Amino acid sequence: MNPDSEILSQYLDQTQQLYGNHLFLEKKLKDELEAPYNNLDEFHRLICECQKCPLGKTRNNFVFGVGNPQADIVFIGEAPGEKEDLLGIPFVGRAGKLLDKILSAIKLSRDDIYICNVLKCRPPNNRNPLPIEVEKCEPYLINQLKIINPKLIVSLGRVSACTLLKTNKSLKDLRNQQFKYADIDLLVTYHPAALLRNPNYKKPAWEDFKFIRDKYLLRS
């Protein structure tokens, strides 16, 4: 290490000790967000071998996202499940098929939208994401959104919504409201897996998707 690098390293260590992790990590996050990525394929290649958290050692596949790279609407779940981890594609299986049907009902397909998750790697046993995992992975999500530049984010499920909005509110309290994430409109609705577990959620979920259709599609 040259003398200048050593001085810089000492300065950063002292800054972290003096002001704590919060300021230090915010600076690190800012640097990652300002990196110049031109398109999703390029960005995917740069991060697909990520080992920033222990999930990198347990995953089968890095589940980046799929869909239209210029989509007006991005759907975001919490993390890949077992089948997603095996196939490397988000929202497959029964929940994914149900999402496809709902999209079709408002005249959309996966070719029209973009689908991804907060985390790119499956947590063991499909547990909820840990804060350290979100800290490492969220800059990737924000960069995806910067490249796509959508009009709307649809957060699928409470875990996704609470992670993005940094809240502990119930999904009921988060629905029927408009939020901002990365300066993009964000709406919250049920995860399709929840609709499979409890059919009573299908009616309010359909109301959410009709609102999306009427406000963000019919006016396009």
Helix (H, G, I), strand (E, B) or coil at 28: helix
Domains and CATH numbers, the chain: 27-217 (3.40.470.10)
Nearest partner of 133 among 141, 125, 123, 144, judged by Cα: 123
* 73/213 Cα distance (integer angstroms): 11
* 215/151 Cα distance (integer angstroms): 11
The confidence band for 185, taking pLDDT boundaries of 50, 70 and 90, is: very high
Identity of the amino acid at 25 = L
Whether the per-residue pLDDT at 21 is higher than 50: the answer is: no
Helix (H, G, I), strand (E, B) or coil at 67: strand
Task: Report the pLDDT value the prediction gives residue 93, as an integer from 0 to 100.
Answer: 86
If one compares 3 and 87, the residue with the highest pLDDT of the two is 87
The confidence band for 218, taking pLDDT boundaries of 50, 70 and 90, is: confident
Nearest partner of 190 among 75, 81, 110, 86, judged by Cα: 75
Q: Is 200 exposed, middle or buried (0-12, 13-18, 19+ CB in 10 A)?
A: exposed
* 134/35 Cα distance (integer angstroms): 19
The confidence band for 220, taking pLDDT boundaries of 50, 70 and 90, is: low
Nearest partner of 79 among 91, 67, 69, 87, judged by Cα: 91
Task: Report the pLDDT value the prediction gives residue 10, as an integer from 0 to 100.
Answer: 56
The residues that bridge with 117 in the sheet, in sequence order, are 77
Q: For the chain, what is the mean pLDDT? A: 87
Task: Report the pLDDT value the prediction gives residue 189, as an integer from 0 to 100.
Answer: 98
The confidence band for 34, taking pLDDT boundaries of 50, 70 and 90, is: low
DSSP H or E run through 180: strand 179-181
Could you write out the DSSP letters of every residue in 128-154? Answer: PPPHHHHHHHHHHHHHHHHHH--SEEE
If one compares 19 and 131, the residue with the highest pLDDT of the two is 131
Read off the pLDDT of residues 38-92 as tens digits, 9 standing for 90 and up.
Answer: 799 999 999 999 999 999 999 999 999 999 999 999 999 999 999 999 999 999 9
**147, 40 Cβ separation under 8 angstroms:** yes
Read off the pLDDT of residues 137-162 as tens digits, 9 standing for 90 and up.
Answer: 999 999 999 999 999 999 999 999 99
Residue 113, C-beta contacts closer than 8 angstroms, at least 6 positions apart: 67, 68, 71, 72, 73, 74, 75, 103
The confidence band for 29, taking pLDDT boundaries of 50, 70 and 90, is: very low
